[in-house]
Structure 1
């Protein structure tokens, strides 16, 4: 494996005492791959139980990757006191899947992503977030949404009718759309409305 030139990883890690950052990745994996010239990553570290009071910022984690020559973006959710979550990924992301984005997702353009899952049980996915998702992932073929928190902002006047053209577009482009939510109609209608605007 030491002659590996290209590495693409999508990694979910739970139960560490710290987030996986560029320093850790470089020391434990990348330094052992001297011929590596392309590294694409999508890493989520969650349920981190830290004994320290240091809470690294997304900027701090991002810099640990950039200082090692990896273009990256990152966001951190500290929504549970002892269970923070960090999502760091290559920019541009040359993967067809992106897993478990949450309300903290900063946006961007992901033209290669065809399969997206959204997961957040502590914050609702609001209308503006769905607008951001529809702009960020223009070529989705599968969307999985898991959210148990009701939307705070009800936009019923915008959600009443869904244009037939948009419905046809969705039928043609999406292979599947899965929702796990107590508020399925609002989530779906909000996303459909954003596809039309």
Structure 2
């Protein structure tokens, strides 16, 4: 394995006391791969209990990757008093799947991603979030949405119905669309409307 030249990983960690950053990844994995020249990653550290006095920012986490020659983007969600979540990924991301995007997702363009999951039980997915997702992932074939928090921005039932009807005829072809939400109709209509706006 020490002669590995390309590595693509999608990892999830739960219950740590710190985020996975470029330093940690380099010390534990990458330093053991001296021939590695291509590294693509999608890493989520979830349910992190902060015990440190220093709270790393998304910029700090991002810099730990960039300083080691890896183009990356990152965002951090603060769920409860001391529960954190960090999502860091390669830019550009040359993967067909991206999982567990939350409300904190900063956007970007991901033309290779075909399968996407949205997950956030602490914050609602609002209309603007779905507009951003539809712009960021123009070639989706499968979308999985899990969100139990109701939308704050309620649009009129009639407007949503019109949006849904128009979008159904002009949207991209999906293989599948899965929802786990208390407000399925509004979520679906909001996303469908934004696929072509």
Q: Which runs of no fewer than 5 residues in structure 1 stay unpaired?
A: none
Deviation at 1:50, TM superposition (A): 2.6
Q: Which runs of no fewer than 5 residues in structure 2 stay unpaired?
A: none
TM-score, scaled relative to structure 1: 0.94
The verdict on how the C-alpha distance between 1:171 and 1:153 changes in structure 2, with shifts beyond 3 A counting, is closer
The verdict on how the C-alpha distance between 1:64 and 1:110 changes in structure 2, with shifts beyond 3 A counting, is same
Q: Is the 8 A contact 1:159 1:193 kept in 2?
A: no
Q: Is the 8 A contact 1:43 1:87 kept in 2?
A: yes
Deviation at 1:196, TM superposition (A): 3.3
TM-score, scaled relative to structure 2: 0.94
Deviation at 1:39, TM superposition (A): 0.1
Q: In the alignment, what sits opposite 1:81? A: 81
What is the alpha-carbon distance in structure 2 between the residues aligned to residue 86 and residue 144 of structure 1?
20
CA RMSD of aligned residues (A): 1.8
What is the alpha-carbon distance in structure 2 between the residues aligned to residue 112 and residue 158 of structure 1?
35
The verdict on how the C-alpha distance between 1:163 and 1:84 changes in structure 2, with shifts beyond 3 A counting, is closer
Deviation at 1:17, TM superposition (A): 1.1
Question: What do residues 141-175 of structure 1 show as CA deviations (whole Å, max 9, x unaligned)?
Answer: 00000001111111226743346886556776211
The verdict on how the C-alpha distance between 1:118 and 1:170 changes in structure 2, with shifts beyond 3 A counting, is farther
Q: Aligned ranges for residues 118-133 of structure 1 at < 5 Å?
A: 118-133=118-133
Q: Is the 8 A contact 1:162 1:192 kept in 2?
A: no
What is the alpha-carbon distance in structure 1 between the residues aligned to residue 24 and residue 170 of structure 2?
41
Q: Is the 8 A contact 1:159 1:189 kept in 2?
A: no
What is the alpha-carbon distance in structure 2 between the residues aligned to residue 91 and residue 172 of structure 1?
24
